[in-house]
Amino acid sequence: MEGNKLLAALCYFSVFFAPFLFPIIVYFVTKHERVKEHAKKSFLSHLIPIAIVVATGGLFMIFAITGVDGWIGLPFIGIVIGGIVHVVVIVWNIIKGVQVLQQSGGMYE
């Protein structure tokens, strides 16, 4: 069914309008295994930039508490790396969404 293919592709494209909410809803609502698989992959890819920001913030807190000098630029480095990773994740999600739309419909029936 074309609807399942479109739903799977929308999970990737949701990086623009509802990055966490849409894939989770699709994962729990749909019964189609391929769509669930794509919803899970897209959700995990949407979490990557957040994980980098959290890890950088955690490291900054650890260094600030322990008094390690020279790490004052860590938040800025984290912002730059997080931004680059976020752009890569957006491009990857667009590519995956287009690939899903181009696949033959037999596996989504």
Tell me how far CA of residue 3 lies from CA of 12, 43, 106, in angstroms: 15, 19, 12
- Residue from 1, 2, 4, 14 nearest 94 by CA: 14
Spatial separation of the C-alpha atoms in residues 108 and 94, rounded to whole Å: 19
pLDDT of residue 71: 66
- Band (pLDDT 50/70/90 cuts) for residue 108 is low
Q: How far apart, in whole angstroms, are the C-alpha atoms of residue 64 and residue 41? A: 35
Using DSSP's 3-state secondary structure scheme, residue 69 falls into coil
Type of residue found at 54 = V
* 14-50: pLDDT as tens digits: 989 888 899 999 999 999 999 999 999 999 998 988 8
Cα–Cα distance list, 27 to 3, 6, 59, 98 (Å)? 15, 14, 33, 19
* Band of residue 87 on the pLDDT scale cut at 50, 70, 90: very high
What does R_g of the chain's alpha carbons equal in angstroms?
18
Residue 63: pLDDT band by 50, 70, 90 thresholds?
A: confident
Global confidence as pTM: 0.79
Q: Which residue has the higher pLDDT, 55 or 24?
A: 24
